Structure 1
Amino acid sequence: MAKKGNRIQVILECTEHKASGQPGTSRYITTKNKKNTPDRMELKKFNPILKRMTVHKEI
């Protein structure tokens, strides 16, 4: 039987879009190594609704 790895799948959600009050949301799915990055991820990704780069945080 295979051993479980350290990589887990996480969902990143736009923080600026929540505050804007517009309908919909921008989410990305990515993986992270839970040993190297135990805290929550925060990346700048493109938000197609706002049409600009925004901060996306792990939910």
Structure 2
Amino acid sequence: MAKPATQLIKMVSTADTGYFYVAKKNPRTMTEKMEFRKYDPVARKHVVFKESKMK
């Protein structure tokens, strides 16, 4: 059976609140680390979320 193309990654808040989103990424087409500007409900504002590995 073929290996799935997408991986689950953890998007961690740069506001150091500990809040994170889980997203899918295709590492074959998107080799750089992902960054999103999303809402952090702990900080109650939009902040940058950076990719980190799932543990």
* TM-score, normalised via structure 1 length: 0.79
Q: Which amino acid aligns with 2:4?
A: G
Write the distance in 2 (CA, Å) between the matches of 1:37 and 1:14: 20
Which segments of 5 or more consecutive residues in structure 1 lack a partner in the other structure?
Answer: 19-23
* TM-score, normalised via structure 2 length: 0.84
Identity %: 23
Backbone CA RMSD of aligned residues: 1.1
Larger radius of gyration: 1
Instruction: Select the structure that is richer in helix.
Output: 1
Write the distance in 2 (CA, Å) between the matches of 1:48 and 1:34: 28
Q: Secondary structure of 2:42's match?
A: coil
Kindly indicate whether residue 50 of structure 2 is the aligned counterpart of residue 51 of structure 1: no
Which segments of 5 or more consecutive residues in structure 2 lack a partner in the other structure?
Answer: none
